[in-house]
Amino acid sequence: MPNVYLVTGGTGLVGQGLAHTLATEPVGSRFGKATEDEEWHFLSSKEGDLRDLKETMAIFDKYKPTHVIHLAALVGGLFRNMKYKLTFLRDNCLINDNVLWAAKEHGCVKVISCLSTCVFPDKVTYPIDESHVHQGPPHESNFGYAHGKRLVDVYNHAYNEEFGCNFTSAIPTNIFGPYDNYDLEDSHVIPGLVHKCLLAKKNGTPFIVSGTGKPLRQFIYSRDLAKLFLWQLREYNEIDPIILSVGEKDEVSIKQVADAIVKAVGFEGEYSFDTSKADGQFKKTASNEKLMKYLPDFQFTPFEEALTESVKWFVENYDTARTGIKKASA
Ligand code: NAP
Ligand code: GDP
């Protein structure tokens, strides 16, 4: 019997990165399908609401997965996280509780859940590593989302100790790429600013970046992250999480990100910072030392190249991309 891989959140940024990698990497290669006949299912919320246990169990009954990459989550950037703290906590706790329970009940061989560097404490020594997850409160701007995600690591250890389950997690830094949420307000910084910059170019209006531009972030391209998830699925055997990130030297300021977007979009108009808007956590510099010990030769796509591909994808797919704008075709 071939293995059956279920990707929750399969229609989103990371899920579609995985679908792309599986479609483009040769079968049998390290980041491709292991065998031609393995089955992959990419779930959308239209197939069932994972906040509901009955609907979640029905999905697992239907697909009978042997392995799960659990990406589904209520996801937002800084400003959406600040507005809906309880909803972020509750929805993500419900989704995670149901998916892990269903995976245990269905005897899944392995589950990888996706956390985020938001889980780390606000007051912490740098660089952050995997041992810091539970060592202090997260930044107040996103404590609902952060606590919901942190609990997954607690679940993984409890499932392992009580039932012997092989449930683990990945901690990616900020992610971007095709199929991102390009909403103008309720999105992450790269897709939000790409959309704003394209509109400023089209309408001859100023390009306004929220905050001071000083905070620092590490960005990983969704298609690189997909390769790392596939490696983790096949070769990583710890319950403890692993940070999936570019190195500390690749950390950039939001101003550097905005400059790169201006260049990738070809915007030549007025550009400024709205310092009345929040900066969020100043930095969450994460070490990828653990990852590099496992995969010392991994090649990350250069930031500008990945950004150019993402802008190109958004321009070419504007009519179907998530933009938060009602379109004539919708
Ligand atoms: P995304 O593009 O917003 O996609 C979210 C996915 O989850 C979609 O497939 C969505 O389905 C599904 N989903 C949401 N609520 C659901 C529900 N109640 N029931 C069933 N499915 C539901 O998110 P993403 O950026 O790919 O994020 C994937 C994972 O990476 C998440 O766990 C997130 O926390 C984590 N992460 C993201 C970032 C980042 O910068 N984006 C950084 C670190 C970690 P529909 O499309 O049908 O709505
Ligand atoms: P975070 O890493 O979880 O804080 O997530 P974001 O992707 O939302 O990045 C937030 C950082 O980018 C903060 O310093 C914001 O002030 C800054 N930023 C600048 N413009 C924007 C924007 O249009 N959207 C978002 N989400 N953040 C922006």
What are 284-305's pLDDT values in tens digits?
999 999 999 999 999 999 999 9
What residues are paired with 168 via a beta bridge? 112
Instruction: Determine what percent of the chain is predicted with pLDDT higher than 70.
Output: 99
Compute the average pLDDT of residues 175-204. Answer: 97
Residue 85 structure tokens = 């703290």
For the CA of 222, the nearest ligand = 1
Measured at the CA of 85, the angle between CA 81 and CA 91, to 5 degrees, comes to: 95
pLDDT band at residue 1 under the 50/70/90 scheme: confident
The gap from C-alpha 22 to its chain's centroid, in whole angstroms, comes to 17
pLDDT beyond 50 at 183:
yes
Atom 9, ligand 2: residue with shortest CA distance: 189
Ligand 2 center–CA 243 separation, angstroms: 20
228-282 per-position pLDDT tens digit: 999 999 999 999 999 999 999 999 999 999 999 999 999 999 999 999 999 999 9
The span from the CA of 119 to the CA of 15, in Å, is: 21
**CA distances from residue 72 to 43, 97, 99, 272, 302 in whole angstroms, order as listed:** 9, 12, 9, 35, 27
* Residues lining ligand 2, Cβ inside 6 A: 77-79, 118, 174, 187-189, 192-193, 209-211, 215, 217, 254, 277-281
Ligand 2 center–CA 185 separation, angstroms: 10
Please give the positions annotated as active site. 145
pLDDT beyond 60 at 330:
no
* Residues lining ligand 1, Cβ inside 6 A: 9-15, 44-46, 49-51, 71-75, 95, 114, 116, 172, 174-175, 181, 188
The span from the CA of 104 to the CA of 108, in Å, is: 6
Q: Which amino acid is at 178?
A: P
User: Would you kindly state where each structural domain of the chain is located, as residue ranges?
Assistant: 4-178+219-247+284-303
Q: Give CATH for domain 4-178+219-247+284-303.
A: 3.40.50.720
Residue 185: CB atoms within 10 A of its CB come to: 14
pLDDT beyond 70 at 328:
no
The span from the CA of 136 to the CA of 173, in Å, is: 19
Ligand 1 center–CA 131 separation, angstroms: 25
Residue 77 CA, closest ligand 2 atom number: 8
Q: Which amino acid is at 48?
A: G
The span from the CA of 308 to the CA of 194, in Å, is: 10
What single string gives the DSSP state of each residue in 36-86? TT-EEEE--GGG--TTSHHHHHHHHHHH--SEEEE-------HHHHHH-HH
What single string gives the DSSP state of each residue in 133-146? TTSS-B-GGGHHHH
Atom 32, ligand 1: residue with shortest CA distance: 71
Residue carrying the six token digits 């071939």: 2
Q: Residue 250's pLDDT is what?
A: 97
Instruction: Say which residues have a Cβ less than 8 Å from residue 90's Cβ, sequence separation at least 6.
Output: 144, 148
For the CA of 15, the nearest ligand = 1
Compute the average pLDDT of residues 95-110. Answer: 98
**CA distances from residue 78 to 31, 109, 210, 296 in whole angstroms, order as listed:** 31, 35, 11, 32
Our mutation pick for probing the ligand 1 site, out of 7, 11, 14, counting the most ligand atoms within 8 A of Cβ, is 14
Would you call 328 helix, strand, or coil by DSSP? Answer: coil
The span from the CA of 11 to the CA of 44, in Å, is: 5
Ligand 1 center–CA 74 separation, angstroms: 6
- Whether the full predicted model's pTM is greater than 0.75, yes or no, is yes
Residue carrying the six token digits 């009954």: 61
Atom 10, ligand 1: residue with shortest CA distance: 9
The span from the CA of 274 to the CA of 234, in Å, is: 45
Instruction: Determine what percent of the chain is predicted with pLDDT higher than 90.
Output: 96
Ligand 2 center–CA 78 separation, angstroms: 5
Average per-residue pLDDT in the chain?
96
Nearest to 214 by CA among 197, 189, 196, 191: 189
Compute the average pLDDT of residues 123-151. Answer: 96
Q: What distance, in Å, lies between the first and last C-alpha atoms of the chain?
A: 41
pLDDT band at residue 327 under the 50/70/90 scheme: low
Residue 78 CA, closest ligand 2 atom number: 8
